[in-house]
Amino acid sequence: MSLVRHVLESKGRDVARVPPDATVLQAATIMNERRIGCVMVMDGDRIAGIFTERDILCRVVAARKDPALVKVSEVMTTKVAVCSPDTTIEACRSAMTRNKLRHLPVVDGTKLVGMVSSGDILARELKEQEETIHWLHQYMHGPN
């Protein structure tokens, strides 16, 4: 059974962060440069929220707000679903599907230690399925 910690070991633990007073334009620039779909909004070491592509679309663009003037704290998602390093991949997939999420911050106690995306979960599950198929093929047909 794969855990979130296994995903973080392979992808790394770096999480893009912005302060609550960052503008939407600043956050979007970071997201674009790093080719990521969200940034964590951090007030010191405390998670203040998450700012996603969906927030940009629904709360900024569709609302005709100026990204250079709007602070991320005004348009971020404040109810942040999280997981822990010991959460199973299956539990993450289920939570993401049920809540229509693409990103889950990983917290250990109260400390942000990583981020997993739906793509990370899918890649891990595909790898596990390929390994299972490989071992079943060897079992059925021998080592060749």
* Residue, of 104 and 133, whose pLDDT is higher: 104
Report the run of H or E that residue 21 belongs to, with start and end.
Answer: none
With tokens 């855990």, the residue in question is 3
* CATH code of the domain in which 27 resides: 3.10.580.10
pTM of the full predicted structure? 0.86
pLDDT of residue 129: 76
CA distance 39 to 114: 11
Mean pLDDT, residues 49-57 taken together: 97
> Which domain covers residue 24, as residue numbers?
4-141
- Split into its structural domains, the chain has a count of 1
Question: Mean pLDDT over residues 28-50, rounded?
Answer: 97
Q: Which H/E stretch holds residue 103?
A: strand 103-108
